[in-house]
Chain A
């Protein structure tokens, strides 16, 4: 049998993340996997090869692993982008940030003119009014866009909608007497158009095009998400909370299986309305359906809510502004039950904990579960885990728990955390990457796209610089080095997914997954790490230029 052909890529520099050989100039690839990285003469020993110079002036890194994202980012680009900061869409177009409420309205008016039918709804996303001063966005703002069609915009946090009068009317909410904490009323006694929290949002979602059906099982959205991954150097991306009904799994298997699909998708089954027994049984069945580019069989659990939504569970002394403590999303009995059974069956569980009390609860539950069901290498991971303190990181290390922290929050909401939610001291230690590493906790960092833009190098920049949108630096003692940050977005994230034996470094035997960079992240100034230009990716040995076909 003739072996498959070998391609050797020559590069300006290859950062391998393999400590035995941290740098190389060439990497040899056969059957989509790496034969080795090193000098050409060494690699030539594998037999006849084709030398590929495409990357001769580029820097290769292991393909980035996004350990906490949602494929819904691809879906959201069907709506009008209205965020405060520039954001690149899947086609590579950069949408400039909206500078004012007026700017937001103008963009919606422009999008409105493109619509043919007078009743078709209009949706936008990414709105973040905290940048526009104290004035709230109200329904009159969007009534200037249309009074005949429903207009609705999702905030960047994903926790709030702003809608126009028509949308309220369709939802039966344009009436006096509405009494709900998530629906502020104006001086006229009618809702202002701001709808906070899932219950209030659900009422209008379907009328403005944000219904569940639009968001679930979105084939186009998945393709667009994959394009975004290529633009950001990502070759393995999580889709971290999916209900994974059969038709969605079939669609995902088909699309990811296409010859030109550029990303490995790791989709977690959301633990919701299930007993631990059911969840683990489903996970085991899903795992059997995994392919190279669609990895199934892990479970995502929600312990609490979000910090900026005041639904995260905090320990004493609670929220800085005195807001009541947040909500538990899963009872401890269910968490313990799931952990124990998942340990027994070898099912990976990642748990969303934002507040430090939620983190403590997850640690207690895992500690108890491990006593009953010892497991050596479970890789259970706390996702977000934003407020964990040093003692909690030490405990995580002892229990073998990993942390996937959220440094993007510093930039987008750090000022809000400093001033309102948790106050200066805890805002400075939030997402304590340095403490995690010093404690020996396996560390990943993430974007939670579409909450913040997908982009591991931006996330790494956040962990290195801890800069807020206003220019404040949040806790230099928790900043990590560029080298450590680059490791967390490759091997670090791969470890939390139990994929570190397959991806995350460039060395013999691993998948030929590369992030192809125009600039060298180790040479560029650390404060410019987010500006490293990205050519595209190589995934399984296949080339995906970001600006290619």
Chain B
């Protein structure tokens, strides 16, 4: 990983959501799926987020070394200090996964991260428990915290779908769509979502993509997603492409493309144009969507160099 310094800003995935929504399960899943990618997982505290024991190589105070070159740190109230120190302490780190405390507002945390030039926000993921989220949202103490968390989400993971019947699930998904009108909503069970949705689509990992999505033991997850690999025309503007892919209605959960010397990252309703990693092959775009709402035509149209809005709205 000698090319770290040419990779541009470190992507940060913020994972928010109240206690018991599956954040810890997701964090452990991501560590297992890192597959050579060096993650720094920052958690508020290890007590609230127990890292699976078999993943831990060694422990030293606030830092756990994780098999595969990942590291896990608890930050307590010192998130900014931890982030400021990280690049120098661990120059090999390629991506940060930041789990916020249950009552934190992930949008505010993300906003703080943007003050640090070494980082960019890759996406804000908010987890909810579909069985309890609507009751929680009516709670006199916590309701506004829950809805503010949802309002900041790029992706909402509607977790614990196995605990509710189909009718109630559909009602809750519809309710979530109102709370987070711009976010993409992902139904899940045991926080089982395709890790690539959060860990990014590495250039070297393209062939791996479909395999990941069809992970044995997760048939539901595999059938949920669909991915496309597309050639990108030379003359398309990265920011414009990002805007189109992240617009409501496309069903795009995640996309990554290398074009005109820059990298485009899309996570749900958020996109960012960053400098391209050294040696990345240009001209390719990978898009993942929820099979249920993936709008192939919208994706194809997004790649048209010029597109009048009237054409799209017919």
CB atoms of A277 and B103 under 8 A apart = no
State whether the Cβ of B44 lies closer than 8 Å to any Cβ in chain A: yes
A199, A275, A327: the one contacting B45 at CB < 8 Å is A275
State whether the Cβ of A376 lies closer than 8 Å to any Cβ in chain B: no
B45, B77, B115: the one contacting A203 at CB < 8 Å is B115
B47, B48, B80, B111: the one contacting A179 at CB < 8 Å is B111
State whether the Cβ of B81 lies closer than 8 Å to any Cβ in chain A: yes
Number of A-B contacts (CB under 8 A): 73
State whether the Cβ of A523 lies closer than 8 Å to any Cβ in chain B: no
Contact (A274, B47) CB under 8 Å given A180-B111, A327-B105, A333-B19: yes
A183, A199, A325, A329: the one contacting B103 at CB < 8 Å is A329
Cα(A328)–Cα(B77), bound, Å:
13
Cα(A89)–Cα(B117), bound, Å:
39
Which one of B76, B108, B115, B141 has the highest number of Cβ atoms from chain A below 10 Å of its Cβ?
B115
Cα(A180)–Cα(B112), bound, Å:
7
Q: Which residues of A have CB within 8 Å of B101? A: 331
Q: Which residues of A have CB within 8 Å of B31? A: none
Cα(A334)–Cα(B103), bound, Å:
11
Q: Which residues of A have CB within 8 Å of B76? A: 272-273
308-356 of chain A: CB within 8 A of chain B:
313, 324-325, 327-334
Cα(A273)–Cα(B47), bound, Å:
8
A202, A272, A273: the one contacting B80 at CB < 8 Å is A202
Q: How many residues on chain A are close to B (CB under 8 Å)?
A: 33
CB atoms of B105 and A273 under 8 A apart = no
Q: Which residues of B have CB within 8 Å of A178? A: 115
The closest CB in chain A to the CB of B109 belongs to: A199
CB atoms of A172 and B117 under 8 A apart = yes
Chain B proximity of A368: nearest CB distance (Å): 13
A interface SS class: loop
CB atoms of A331 and B103 under 8 A apart = yes
CB atoms of B47 and A328 under 8 A apart = no
CB atoms of B74 and A328 under 8 A apart = no
Q: Which residues of B have CB within 8 Å of A332? A: 141-142
A-contact 0/1 string along B139-151, CB 8 Å cutoff: 0111011000000
State whether the Cβ of A47 lies closer than 8 Å to any Cβ in chain B: no
Q: Which residues of B have CB within 8 Å of A199? A: 79-80, 108, 112, 115
Contact (A274, B45) CB under 8 Å given A332-B142, A361-B141: yes
State whether the Cβ of A173 lies closer than 8 Å to any Cβ in chain B: yes
Contact (A180, B45) CB under 8 Å given A212-B81, A328-B142, A328-B145: no
Q: Which residues of B have CB within 8 Å of A324? A: 144
The closest CB in chain A to the CB of B144 belongs to: A325
State whether the Cβ of A357 lies closer than 8 Å to any Cβ in chain B: yes
81-114 of chain B: CB within 8 A of chain A:
81, 84, 101-103, 105, 108, 111-112, 114
Q: Which residues of B have CB within 8 Å of A172? A: 116-117
Chain A proximity of B108: nearest CB distance (Å): 8
CB atoms of B47 and A181 under 8 A apart = no
The closest CB in chain A to the CB of B74 belongs to: A273
CB atoms of A181 and B111 under 8 A apart = yes
190-222 of chain A: CB within 8 A of chain B:
198-200, 202-203, 212
Chain A proximity of B85: nearest CB distance (Å): 11
Q: Which residues of A have CB within 8 Å of B116? A: 172, 203
Chain B proximity of A395: nearest CB distance (Å): 16
Cα(A180)–Cα(B111), bound, Å:
6
Chain A proximity of B50: nearest CB distance (Å): 10
A-contact 0/1 string along B119-130, CB 8 Å cutoff: 000000000000
CB atoms of B114 and A200 under 8 A apart = no
A180, A202, A325, A361: the one contacting B81 at CB < 8 Å is A202
CB atoms of A183 and B115 under 8 A apart = yes
Q: Which residues of A have CB within 8 Å of B75? A: 273
Cα(A198)–Cα(B112), bound, Å:
10
Chain A proximity of B125: nearest CB distance (Å): 19
Q: Which residues of B have CB within 8 Å of A313? A: 141
Q: Which residues of A have CB within 8 Å of B77? A: 198, 272-273
Q: Which residues of B have CB within 8 Å of A277? A: 47
Q: Which residues of A have CB within 8 Å of B81? A: 202, 212
State whether the Cβ of A50 lies closer than 8 Å to any Cβ in chain B: no
CB atoms of B103 and A328 under 8 A apart = yes
Q: Which residues of A have CB within 8 Å of B145? A: 328
State whether the Cβ of B78 lies closer than 8 Å to any Cβ in chain A: yes
Chain A proximity of B309: nearest CB distance (Å): 27
Chain A proximity of B51: nearest CB distance (Å): 14
Which one of A324, A328, A360 has the highest number of Cβ atoms from chain B below 10 Å of its Cβ?
A328
Q: Which residues of A have CB within 8 Å of B294? A: none
State whether the Cβ of B271 lies closer than 8 Å to any Cβ in chain A: no
Contact (A273, B115) CB under 8 Å given A203-B80, A333-B19: no
Cα(A183)–Cα(B108), bound, Å:
13
CB atoms of B45 and A273 under 8 A apart = yes
Cα(A200)–Cα(B113), bound, Å:
10
Q: Which residues of B have CB within 8 Å of A334? A: 48
Cα(A291)–Cα(B173), bound, Å:
58
Cα(A283)–Cα(B102), bound, Å:
24
Cα(A357)–Cα(B80), bound, Å:
28
State whether the Cβ of B18 lies closer than 8 Å to any Cβ in chain A: yes
Cα(A273)–Cα(B101), bound, Å:
9
Q: Which residues of B have CB within 8 Å of A180? A: 111-112, 114-115
Chain A proximity of B157: nearest CB distance (Å): 19
Chain A proximity of B294: nearest CB distance (Å): 31
The closest CB in chain B to the CB of A212 belongs to: B81
Cα(A181)–Cα(B105), bound, Å:
13
The closest CB in chain B to the CB of A302 belongs to: B77
Q: Which residues of A have CB within 8 Å of B84? A: 202-203
Chain B proximity of A84: nearest CB distance (Å): 29
State whether the Cβ of A278 lies closer than 8 Å to any Cβ in chain B: yes
Cα(A333)–Cα(B18), bound, Å:
11
Chain A proximity of B310: nearest CB distance (Å): 32
Given contacts A199-B79, A273-B47, A328-B141, 12 further A-B contacts (CB under 8 A): A178-B115, A198-B77, A212-B81, A272-B77, A273-B77, A278-B47, A331-B19, A331-B101, A332-B142, A333-B19, A360-B141, A361-B141
B residues contacting A by CB (< 8 A) are 18-19, 44-45, 47-48, 74-81, 84, 101-103, 105, 108, 111-112, 114-117, 140-142, 144-145
Query: 4 closest pairs, A vs B, by CB?
Result: A273-B76, A275-B47, A199-B112, A328-B103
A residues contacting B by CB (< 8 A) are 172-173, 178-181, 183, 198-200, 202-203, 212, 272-275, 277-278, 313, 324-325, 327-334, 357, 360-361
- Ordered by A's residue number, 23 sampled pairs between the chains whose C-beta atoms are within 8 Å are A172-B117, A173-B115, A181-B108, A181-B111, A198-B80, A199-B80, A199-B112, A199-B115, A200-B115, A202-B78, A202-B80, A202-B81, A203-B80, A212-B81, A273-B76, A274-B47, A277-B47, A278-B47, A329-B103, A330-B103, A331-B103, A333-B19, A357-B140
